[in-house]
Amino acid sequence: MEEANVYKETKQFTYKDGSQFVFMDLSSYDETRLNEADMGDKTKWLKEGMECNLLYWKDKVIDFELPITVQLKIVDVDPGLRGDTAQGGGTKPATLETGAVVNVPLFVNVGEDIMVDTRTGTYMSRV
């Protein structure tokens, strides 16, 4: 049986061009383009300038890995009820700069940066 030639390279997500996501090799400046349809819902955590690992097989990209945690800004969230505190233990949905929606503690507000676990899509902490 032939051994699979799978390898990974670190690339920087630079921008979205229509339905394609463009990654750049920081040493050669070569671009790699991935179609949105092939990337799944991991794109909701992608932020320009973020470094990701692209997995290759037979010189074709077969998947990409995000960092385990990402720092993203909250762009929309309900203000919460008056008197809500950290001890309340409740959560509310917050929309992040990438369009992803994450449940956050009631004390978190618009404009704040938070850390999110990309594997589970859960809030970790304020930054």
Which tokens sit at 27?
């040493």
Identify the residue with better confidence: 19 or 84.
19
Domain boundaries, the chain: 6-65, 69-126
Global pTM reads 0.83
pLDDT of residue 38: 86
Q: Which CATH architecture has domain 6-65?
A: Beta Barrel (2.40)
CATH for the stretch 69-126? 2.40.50.140
pLDDT digits (tens, 9 = 90+) for 27-80: 999 999 999 988 889 999 999 999 999 999 988 999 999 999 999 999 999 876
Distances (CA, A) of 87 to 84, 104, 107, 122: 8, 13, 10, 19
Instruction: Indicate if 69-126 has the same CATH topology as 6-65.
Output: yes
b/e map 38-75, b = 16+ CB within 10 Å: ebeeebbbbeeebebebeeeeeebebbebeeebebebe
